[in-house]
Structure formats: C-alpha cells, structure tokens
Amino acid sequence: MGSAAYQGTTRAFTASGKVKLENDAAQGKLSAKAEGDASLFKTDHHAQYASPSATIAGKEVATVDLKANATVLVGVTGSAEAGVNWNSKDAGLKGKANVFAGIEAKGDASMDNRVLGVKTAASTDGYARAGAEASAEGSLGKDGMEAKAGAFAGAKAGGNLKSNIAGIGVGVEGEGWAGQGGEAELSAKMDDGKFKFKTSLGASPIVGGKAGFNIEVDPTEVAKLADLSDEIDELVEAIKANEQAQADYAQAVADANAIRDQILAQTNLFTAEVNSFNSQINDVGNSVLSFLGV
C-alpha cells in the first residue's frame, strides 16, 4: 500500500523572526543569518506518498516517491545572510538578501524514482505574486562563482520544469511580468560533488518576462549507469533462478505424486491378495467343516 502523509496550517495576523550566528574557528567558518515575516494571512499545505518497493524474484527493482506543497501568503517576508569560510577546502565568501511585500501563491510537485539503482526524477512548480521585491546574492570560492540581483514592482506569474535521468539534470524556467524591473543571474560551480550551471535574464519596462535554463551533473549517479548492465544481468539470473526453483518444486511435486500413486497401487494389490488369501482360507475351512459333517 505504501505510506502517505499530509500536513496543513492556516494562520492570520502573525509575525515571526529569527537570528542565527555561527563562529566555528576549528572549521574556519563565520556566518550570520536573519529572517522574518509579518503576514495578514498565510496557509501552508504539504502532502507526500511513498510507494512500496516493487520486486521481481526477491530483488528490488523500483521505488516511487511523490511530494506536493502549496502556500498562499499576504504580507511581508525578508531575509539576509552573510558568511566567510577560510578553511582551505571550502574557502570563499557568500552573501544574500531579499525582501518581498504583497500577495503570493505558489505550489510545487515532484517525483523521484529508482529503477535498478538508477535515479530518475521530475519536478514542476508554479507561482503568482503581486507586490514589490528586491534581492541580491553572490558567492566566490575555489569551486566557482555565482551572482544574482534583481528588483521588481508589479505582478509575476511563472513556473519551472526539471528532469533528471541518471545524474544528468536539465531545467527550464519562464515568467511573465506586468510592471517594471530587471533581473540577471549567472552561476557555474561545484556544489556537494555536483557540477551546476545556471543562467537567466529578465527585463520589463512595463510588460516583459524572464527566461532561463540550468544544467546539473552528478558524477556519482552517472557512474551508476556503468553498473546498470550488471544490475540487469543479476535480475535476469534471479528470475532464472526463481523459475528454476519453481520448476524444481513442480518436478518434486510430480515425483511425490508418482510415488504416492505407486504406493496406492501396491496397497491396492496387497489388499486384493489379502482378500484372496482370506477367501481361500474360508473355502478350506468350509471344506473341512463339510467333511466333518458339521
């Protein structure tokens, strides 16, 4: 049957905020992060389903995981973050800040599968917002650089679509804008062992939009393609072994039935011989009694 879960909350006239400071001299990290929101209305909904593993001949061949989220917000949200890392392995600088005031509705859905150990995934999201927003983000380190900045006042609606097969992912995004603003982004870096490239550009004097695409390569997942033929061979052998086991079982049942039939035949023959012997004994007894005149 699998497992399913749902969680939903709705709140009105709320405000929250938090500040987080980290100073880890041993790891060579220093960072500060602050975020908060004040909402007239906010509702969040989350759903998830995980299927049971599909198996063939006792071997797991596929799993499916589905997720969906939806949020509606009327209010103000914002966050700011800055950090420096002087550890030789991850040395670099990063910082970002964003603020939004207005109304926003968004939702997303994703599906993750594994077939014979190879990962495939797809996701999509959509959103619509009206208000004012501004953001800036940047990072620089030995693994690459990233820069993004933008400001907008008006209404936006857009979405993203991503797919990933065996560690190679491609995504596209698009937005329609009604208002004034501009935005640009360029990123090329290694992140958690994955190569990621992303670029987008948007402009709107009055009516316009934004378009972008991204590529992600996970060498670990790509390498699993080399093992796919072995996985298939193992599955075929498991199926053959299972079929042979079923054939052996069927033959054993047939042999047992044949032995049973032979035993029954011998039993019937023995019973017939015993009955014949009893009949002969009775005949002899009757003859003796007749001779004696009894």
Single out the residue in 111, 143, 162 at which a domain terminates.
Answer: 162
Determine the residue type at 50.
A
Q: Is 156 exposed, middle or buried (0-12, 13-18, 19+ CB in 10 A)?
A: buried
Computed over every residue of the chain, the mean pLDDT equals: 79
Q: Which residue range is the domain that position 47 belongs to?
A: 3-162
User: Does any domain span residue 70?
Assistant: yes
Instruction: Determine the Cα–Cα distance for residues 54 and 50; give it in Å rounded to an integer.
Output: 12
Same domain, 150 and 263: no
User: Per-residue pLDDT averaged across 72-87, rounded?
Assistant: 86
Higher model confidence: residue 53 or residue 44? 44
Within this chain, do residues 101 and 236 fall inside the same structural domain, yes or no? no
* Final residue before a domain boundary, out of 105, 129, 162: 162
Do 98 and 241 reside in the same domain of the chain? no
Judgement on whether residues 46 and 141 belong to the same structural domain of the protein:
yes
Q: Are residues 150 and 244 in the same domain?
A: no
- Stated pTM of the model: 0.60
> Pick the residue with more confidence: 226 or 75?
75
pLDDT tens by residue, 156-189:
888 888 888 877 888 888 888 887 777 888 888 7
Q: What is the mean pLDDT of residues 119-140?
A: 87
Q: Which of 92-101, 149-158, 209-218, 240-249 is predicted with the least confidence, judged by mean pLDDT?
A: 240-249
Whether 70 and 144 map to the same domain: the answer is: yes
With respect to residue 193, please indicate whether it lies within any of the assigned structural domains. no
Residue 44 has phi, psi (to 5 degrees) of -125, 140
Task: Check residue 2 and report its DSSP letter.
Answer: -
Checking if the pLDDT of 229 tops 70, the result is: no
Is 271 within the bounds of a domain?
yes
Which is more confident, 88 or 25?
25
Query: Among 113, 136, 162, where does a domain finish?
Result: 162
Do 75 and 156 share a domain, yes or no?
yes
Rounded Cα–Cα distance for residues 65 and 54 (Å): 12
Query: Considering the domain boundaries, does residue 28 fall inside one?
Result: yes
- The pLDDT of residue 1: 63
Considering the domain architecture, whether residues 36 and 148 belong to the same structural domain is answered as: yes
Residue 156 sits in the same domain as residue 236: no
Q: Which helix (H) or strand (E) holds 169?
A: strand 168-191
Residues 155 and 234 occupy one common structural domain? no
Does a structural domain hold residue 192? no
Residue 258 lies in a domain: yes
Q: How far apart are CA 167 and CA 216, in angstroms?
A: 8
Which range (27-36, 69-78, 131-140, 271-280) has the least confidence?
271-280
158 and 234, same domain (yes or no):
no
In terms of domains, do 25 and 130 share one?
yes
- 83: closest CA among 98, 97, 66? 97
Q: Assess if residue 213 is contained within a domain.
A: no
What is the mean pLDDT of the segment spanning 49-76?
78
When mean pLDDT is compared across 42-51, 110-119, 127-136, 232-241, the lowest value belongs to 232-241
* pLDDT exceeds cutoff 80 at 201: yes
Task: Average the pLDDT over 133-144 and give the result.
Answer: 84
Query: Is the predicted pLDDT of residue 289 greater than 70, yes or no?
Result: no
Q: Into how many domains does the chain fold? A: 2
* pLDDT tens per residue across span 81-117: 988 887 756 678 889 999 989 998 989 998 887 766 6
Instruction: Determine, yes or no, domain membership for 209.
Output: no
User: Is the pLDDT reported for residue 140 higher than 70?
Assistant: yes
